Amino acid sequence: MDKEVVVITGAGSGLGASLAKKYSEMGAHVCLLGRNKGKLQNVADLLHNEYSIYQLDVSIKEEVDKVFQAIDQEVGPIDLLINNAGTGVFALAEQIDEKSVHDMIDINLKGTIFCSQVVLPSMKQRNKGIIANIVSTAGLEGKVTESVYCASKFGVKGFTESLLAELKDTSVKVYGAYMGGMKTEFWSGIYSEEQTKNLMEADDVADIIIDNLKPRRNLFVPQVVIKNKF
């Protein structure tokens, strides 16, 4: 039996790294995608099964097309795509600079769209596969100092729900994970260690996502909301 091919964007740290380790332990061939090859290699060094590393900026369509074509040729058809790459800049709406606006829309929203677009034809042809979008609770409600971040994540929510509607008569599954803040380097330079010490652990969130995505007879979870206790 061929190994499951799992592709994870933003796999160099945080939740992406946790998911990579856990899927590797489960025997999958994990494809680690991200902009920083060194960080991807650090995660890969902790894996126990076959893996591949692909340097990628998900906001650049040509790069996405090229990398995903390489994965298909070198590893095989993608069984699970986890759109995890994301970035955030937090300030009052009028204080967010133009580059930060572009970065959040380009990476969080366009990146999710581009990566999903490129796997959909094969998944639909094979009538199998899962697209899992890591969204954030910022895709469910507006938050102070997170206006543009929320705008990008609301966009991902709309894209995810539209995919669900488009694929409802197929065996291709779409999943949205809406989680609160996690104890990861995402918050470096934004919150202090004291402010993040009680946030959720990325490994715990990864466990919930993986459990939701397990194949079950007559059952699929289209979305989950995971929140901190406080």
Q: Which residues are catalytic?
A: 149
Q: For residues 73, 78, 83 and 84, what is the CA-based torsion angle, rounded to 10 degrees?
A: -80
Query: Please, what is the Cα angle at 77 between 209 and 56, to 5 degrees?
Result: 70
CA distance 192 to 6: 33
Query: Please, what is the Cα angle at 9 between 74 and 13, to 5 degrees?
Result: 120
Q: List, in order, residues 6 or more apart from 46 with CB less than 8 Å away.
A: 21
Would you say 28 and 1 are in contact if contact means Cβ atoms under 8 Å apart? no
226 DSSP β-pair partners: 179
